[in-house]
């Protein structure tokens, strides 16, 4: 399956969707499949300032612990509270109900540095 | 996800590898073998075993035969349990220790006949066990024969195991007690069927000549899938054994742990006749009592305690997590940990250091899960 073309991607398998001056962040379907059944998601509090490429949270599957990396710098405006009770949403709907955080966009040029859908597909295909 | 290191070291291939791949398994290197870690989902595979049946490829496990006059006495001197107390056709959980009482491996010993035993070791320790047995049996009349690479092993585990296996075997399963083994046929192929496992469920382990493992797997997989079960990888094997409170070598057990700390003092038969490797050290531990103890914990805050995370009581470091996961059956994070004996009482509140924070956890009795009979 190919990555949605309206999103941008990091090499660490996060996606980001820009909506005006706010962006939504999650992990890709490929990442969710590689992790397996996700059982825990740890997200930052609203208001926290994130720095591009720095860890902002943790996603855990039954087997593994994996850091989440900020695709861009910005302040967290909200987090997906549903994941506390239903972390499996990340597996079942990674680009929708499995979203993780919304944040402000501190520097729009950072988005241009991210991969588009086809470049991300190439990254995954290359293993 | 290719691994360039694979070509450089010897990796054993299970005879079922192509079958696993056809089933969509993700294969990993484990203890020198390329084995399936999961086929579909660890949670689905885990539930299949708890509710119906699961089929495991355990060909990586080590199987060693100890035979000949005085085989029982020789083996008794090499391990902490008493194989001589076994009736032929019965099995016991055991450990092989270093002279200082540290655990080299945990084992299942099957008495196949009066002077014929099979020792089953963990894959990661098969060579260590084989070497230690060779050394310890050297000046006896017992003969060690390492059959690890000649023996296939598949396990069927779960409440439907009897229903699935019965029509495929001439072994009387109703008469086969827990920790017993019988020779017979499975799917027409000569095999030994043992009522043992590592999941906390009823089930069987089937030993077969390695070339014929595939035929037995195919027949059992048909039956398992017909009963609504699944093939199960090493991922769910780990969550199943953890819920059942069973130790995993490398996590709960290693050369720096002794059986008493691990809560397995009952396995050490200090009353048996003769010396055995580790006796003096283990007698000391038994007399003084272990300084730390393996406990179960349920994490009560948010987070999952994982192998290696520190455990504290107040400002005092009391121990370390050995295994932890989100329990698929209980729906809460469970863990096993070594803590100071004074903090090991069920009900004790401790903190697990998870990344930058401390998360409260309660010491609970093991196992976390016990099947209803």
Spatial CA neighbour of B110 closest among B205, B212, B242, B202: B205
Q: Which of A30, A37, A65 to mutate to test the interface with B (most CBs of B within 10 A)?
A: A37
Kindly calculate the radius of gyration of chain B based on its CA atoms and give it in whole angstroms.
Answer: 21
The mean per-residue pLDDT over the stretch B242-253 comes to 98
For chain B, how many residues are written? 373
In whole angstroms, what separates CA B314 from the centre of its chain?
A: 34
Beta strand segments in B243-315, E = 292-299, 310-313
- In order, the DSSP letters of A35-85 are H-SEEEEE-PPTTPEE-TTSEEEEEEESS-EEEEE-SS-EEEEEE-THHHH
Give the distance from residue A42's alpha carbon to the nearest chain B alpha carbon, in angstroms. 8
Residue matched to tokens 């035993």: B117
Tell me the ipTM for this assembly. 0.87
pLDDT more than 70, % of chain B = 98
pLDDT of residue A14: 98
User: Model confidence over A71-95: pLDDT tens digits?
Assistant: 999 999 999 999 999 999 999 999 9
Domain at B6-60+150-243: CATH code: 3.30.1360.120
pLDDT tens for each residue of B113-165: 999 999 999 999 999 999 999 999 999 999 999 999 999 999 999 999 999 99
Q: Tell me the chain B residues in contact with residue A84 when contact means C-beta distances shorter than 8 Å.
A: 302
CATH 2.60.120.10 matches B291-373: no
Partner-chain residue, chosen from B235, B303, B355, that has the shortest CB–CB distance to A62: B235
Burial zone of B370 (CB within 10 Å; 0-12 exposed, 13-18 middle, 19+ buried) = exposed
Q: Which of A37, A58, A127 sits opposite B43 (nearest CB)?
A: A37
Residue B116, judged by CB atoms within 10 A of its CB (0-12, 13-18, 19+), counts as middle
Name the burial class of residue B368, with classes exposed (0-12), middle (13-18) and buried (19+) by CB atoms within 10 angstroms of its CB.
buried
Strand partners, A62: none
Kindly state the DSSP code that residue B332 receives in the 8-state scheme: S
Chain B nearest C-alpha distance from A70 (Å):
18
What pTM, to 2 d.p., does this model score? 0.94
Domain with CATH 3.30.1360.120 in chain B: 6-60+150-243
The answer to whether A62 contacts B37, with C-beta atoms less than 8 Å apart, is no
Domain ranges in chain B with CATH number 2.40.30.110: 291-373
Largest distance between two CA atoms of chain A: 37
**The two structure tokens encoding residue B297:** 């914990």
Q: Do B42 and A63 touch (CB under 8 A)?
A: yes
Domain A8-105, what fold?
OB fold (Dihydrolipoamide Acetyltransferase, E2P) (2.40.50)
**Around Cβ B347, how many Cβ atoms within 10 Å?**
8
Q: Please determine, for residue B309, whether its predicted confidence score (pLDDT) is greater than 70.
A: yes
Residue of A nearest to B43 (CA): A37
pLDDT of residue A19: 95
How far A109 CA sits from the closest chain B CA (Å)? 31
């Amino acid at each position: 399956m190919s990555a949605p073309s309206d999103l941008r991607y990091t090499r660490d398998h996060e996606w980001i969707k820009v909506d005006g001056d706010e962006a939504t962040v999650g992990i890709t379907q490929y990442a969710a499949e590689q992790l397996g059944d996700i059982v825990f998601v740890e997200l930052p509090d609203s208001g926290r300032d994130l720095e591009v490429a720095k860890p902002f949270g943790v996603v855990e599957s039954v087997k593994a612990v994996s850091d989440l990396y900020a695709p861009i710098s910005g302040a967290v405006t909200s987090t997906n509270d549903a994941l506390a009770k239903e972390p499996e949403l990340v597996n079942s709907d990674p680009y929708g109900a499995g979203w993780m955080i919304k944040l402000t966009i501190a520097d729009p040029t950072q988005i241009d540095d991210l991969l588009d859908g086809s470049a991300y597909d190439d990254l995954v295909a290359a293993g | 996800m290719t691994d360039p290191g694979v070509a450089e070291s010897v990796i054993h291939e299970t005879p079922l590898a192509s079958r696993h791949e056809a089933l969509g398994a993700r294969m990993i290197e484990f203890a020198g073998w390329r084995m399936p870690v999961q086929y579909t989902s660890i949670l689905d595979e885990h539930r299949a075993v708890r509710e119906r049946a699961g089929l495991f490829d355990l060909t990586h496990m080590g199987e060693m035969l100890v035979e000949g006059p005085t085989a029982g006495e020789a083996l008794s001197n090499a391990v902490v349990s008493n194989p001589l107390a076994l009736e032929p056709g019965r099995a016991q959980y055991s450990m092989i220790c270093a002279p200082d009482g540290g655990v080299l491996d945990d084992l299942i010993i099957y008495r196949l006949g009066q002077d014929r035993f099979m020792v089953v070791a963990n894959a990661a320790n098969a060579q260590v066990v084989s070497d230690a047995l060779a050394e310890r049996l050297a000046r006896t009349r017992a003969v060690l024969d390492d059959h690890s690479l000649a023996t296939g092993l598949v396990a069927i585990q779960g409440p439907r195991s009897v229903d699935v296996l019965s029509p495929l075997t001439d072994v009387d399963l109703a008469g086969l007690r827990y920790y017993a083994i019988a020779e017979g046929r499975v799917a027409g192929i000569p095999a030994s069927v043992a009522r043992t496992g590592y999941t906390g469920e009823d089930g069987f382990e089937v030993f077969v000549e390695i070339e014929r493992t595939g035929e037995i797997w195919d027949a059992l997989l048909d039956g398992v899938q017909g009963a609504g079960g699944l093939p199960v990888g090493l991922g769910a094997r780990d969550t199943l054994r953890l819920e059942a409170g069973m130790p995993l070598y490398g996590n709960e057990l290693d050369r720096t742990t002794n059986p008493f700390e691990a809560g397995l003092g009952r396995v050490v038969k200090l009353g048996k006749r003769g010396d055995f490797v580790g006796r003096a050290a283990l007698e000391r531990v038994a007399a003084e009592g272990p300084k730390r103890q393996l406990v179960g914990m349920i994490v009560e805050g948010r987070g999952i305690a994982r192998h290696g995370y520190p455990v504290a009581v107040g400002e005092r470091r009391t121990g370390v997590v050995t295994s932890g996961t989100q329990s698929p059956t209980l729906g809460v994070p469970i863990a096993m940990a070594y803590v100071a004996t004074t903090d090991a009482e069920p009900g004790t509140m401790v903190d697990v250091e998870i990344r930058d924070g401390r998360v409260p956890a309660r010491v609970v009795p093991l196992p976390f899960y016990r099947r209803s009979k």
